[in-house]
Structure 1
Amino acid sequence: MLVSIGLGVVFVLGIAFTAYMLIVSWGGAYWIHTTAVAVVMCGLALLRERGRPWTAAAGVAVTAVAVGVSLAGDLPQEPSPTAALALAVLVGSSLRTLRVLQALAIAAGGVAVTAFAWVCGPTGVTSMATLLVLGGLIAGPLLRAFALVRRSGAPSPPLGRPEQ
């Protein structure tokens, strides 16, 4: 619960900061697209516990459409840092909790969307999105491994010696 609250605060601050920076730099209504995408992505990331595979799949799909629309419409590059953080949360959470094939499908989708973002050109936004999704790809399996050890309650057997 506290993690979700903290994540929500980070999301709200990130969305507000990104909207402000786009208003100052791009002007006009360019900020609306990025803000709308970030709000949807952050909402999906906060709902990840309710519909695990569907929220993650929807997040990958929303990000893919957003990248395509931003590329076609000459809009600010997607995924924005906040949307990329939400995508990383969805990918990491999927790798931590879903069945292996579902988790791999979501992870592959996250990697594909991030690669698709590079079509727009190498920028700081793309680099940050790549690092965030990479963080989700690393954190998810690590948290899954630690959860397995905690759930069983038994200590891990020493390396090199089979358990008797």
Structure 2
Amino acid sequence: MNTVERPTGPGGMLVDIGLGVVFALGIAFSAYMLIDSWGEAYWIFTTAVAVVMCALALLRERQRLWTAAAGVAVTAVAVVVSLVAELPQEPSPMAALALAVLVGSSIRMLPAWPAVAIAAGGVAVTALTWASGPTGVTAMATMLVVGGLVAGPPLRAFAPGRRSGASAAEPSLPSRARQ
């Protein structure tokens, strides 16, 4: 097992806890603002999508490919449903942040072709978002996904398990054995 395949350490857990707090506060704030502006029950769909997306982003370490693919699919369906049913525009800021986390994490950790597929899916969903017209939500979603696309490659290049030219199957020899 190389360092890329190891479970999340204490630093990674702190990042996930912080991300979870940001997600929870952002979802609560978005729901409050939708209740205040749209009224009735319009906030339920947006909140449900955001909760699912944020849960996928927080579970990304367990099944990297499937959580990212599910995140892209959930976001695409949410965008289409919001357009057809005249609901608040999707992806909401927290769903877009979760999508950016999934895209960036995929670029960092997945093999090249699956990472390219997830990145292309994120770009396609962002382009689909523009079908409802330019708004603040569209611009924010675009900036967040672009942020994931920009952050992923440097993180991939500097991932501890990827710098070494040694194969994960080759055990390293103790210093005495090399002499």
> Matches of residues 84-99 of structure 1 in structure 2 within 5 Å?
84-99=96-111
CA distance in 2, matches of 1:67, 1:18: 17
> Matches of residues 123-142 of structure 1 in structure 2 within 5 Å?
123-142=135-154
For 1:113, the equivalent position in structure 2 comes to 125
1:108-154, Cα deviation, whole Å (9 max, x unpaired): 0000000000001100000000000000001011111111588539x
Q: Does 1:22 align with 2:29?
A: no
Structure 2 length-normalised TM: 0.83
Residue 47 (structure 2) aligned to one of 20, 27, 35: 35
Residue 60 (structure 2) aligned to one of 20, 30, 48: 48
Identity percentage over the alignment?
79
For 1:162, the equivalent position in structure 2 comes to none
Task: Give how far 1:63 is off.
Answer: 0.1
CA distance in 1, matches of 2:119, 2:161: 23
CA distance in 1, matches of 2:51, 2:161: 35
Residue 85 (structure 2) aligned to one of 73, 91, 96: 73
Structure 1 length-normalised TM: 0.91
Q: Does 1:61 align with 2:79?
A: no
Q: Does 1:7 align with 2:7?
A: no
CA distance in 1, matches of 2:110, 2:143: 22
Gaps of 5+ in 2: 1-12, 166-179
Gaps of 5+ in 1: 154-164
CA distance in 1, matches of 2:103, 2:139: 17
1:14-54, Cα deviation, whole Å (9 max, x unpaired): 00000000000000000000000000000000000000000
1:58-105, Cα deviation, whole Å (9 max, x unpaired): 000000000000000000000000000000000000000000000000
CA distance in 2, matches of 1:2, 1:151: 24
CA distance in 2, matches of 1:149, 1:44: 24
Residue 114 (structure 2) aligned to one of 99, 102, 111: 102
Instruction: Please say which structure displays the higher CA radius of gyration.
Output: 2
Aligned length in residues:
153
CA distance in 1, matches of 2:127, 2:38: 25
More off after superposition, 83-92 vs 144-153? 144-153
